[in-house]
């Protein structure tokens, strides 16, 4: 397996991974829209390949922390997709690690995700609501732990809080409901 940053020429591979992983076109179209969304920039988009076949994709887009004192660099992880026949082989985790490494080097301080509360903590994410970070749209209490954050720089958690605003394409209530 190898992972690399995507280029415009990778769009068909990205959409293939999204369609296969989610068994629908909805996430693929949302991903395509986010890749073209100026408010999502700068972004980190990575593709994983197994034997030169696209196997996984992850996208991190720019976010904002409203009501925060001072400027805080925020990113949002969505989506993470792995083609079913390549799942449970560490591809998703390797995409997360590589993306977080690149974001940290670029100065991003906080990364947010709405995801499976038993998966993402393996990679350093923790429930965000308990730390003073409000999601873009309300998340039902019974799944509140799905709203998570990871600090990429020390001492940022506890020094800032506020409402997280994601890129325009993701900033729609229908994307925040299961």
The pLDDT tens digits of the residues spanning 5-52 come to 999 999 999 999 999 999 989 999 999 999 999 999 999 999 999 999
Domain harbouring 170, CATH code: 3.40.630.30
Q: Residue 154 corresponds to which tokens in the numbers above? A: 């020390």
- Locate 95 and state its tokens: 């995409």
CA nearest to 110, candidates 165, 65, 51: 65
Question: What is the pTM for the complete model shown?
Answer: 0.95
Segment 104-141, tens digit of pLDDT: 999 999 999 999 999 999 999 999 999 999 999 998 88
The values of phi and psi at residue 133, to 5°, are: -105, 120
End-to-end CA gap in the chain? 31
Give the structural domain span for 117: 2-176
């Amino acid at each position: 397996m190898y992972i690399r940053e995507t280029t415009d020429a990778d769009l068909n591979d990205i959409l293939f991974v999204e369609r296969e992983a989610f068994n629908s076109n909805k996430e693929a179209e949302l991903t395509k829209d986010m890749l073209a969304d100026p408010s999502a920039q700068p972004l980190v988009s990575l593709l994983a390949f197994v034997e030169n076949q696209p196997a996984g994709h992850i996208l991190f887009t720019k976010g904002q922390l409203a009501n925060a004192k001072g400027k805080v660099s925020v990113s949002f992880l969505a989506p993470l997709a792995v083609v079913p026949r390549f799942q449970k082989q560490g591809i998703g985790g390797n995409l997360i690690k590589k993306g977080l490494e690149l974001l940290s080097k670029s100065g991003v301080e906080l990364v947010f995700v709405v995801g499976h509360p038993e998966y993402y903590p393996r990679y350093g994410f923790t429930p965000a609501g308990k730390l003073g970070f409000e999601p873009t749209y309300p998340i039902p209490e019974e799944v509140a732990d799905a709203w998570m954050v990871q600090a990429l720089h020390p001492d940022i958690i506890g020094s800032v809080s506020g409402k997280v605003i994601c890129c325009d394409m993701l900033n729609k209530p229908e994307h925040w409901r299961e």
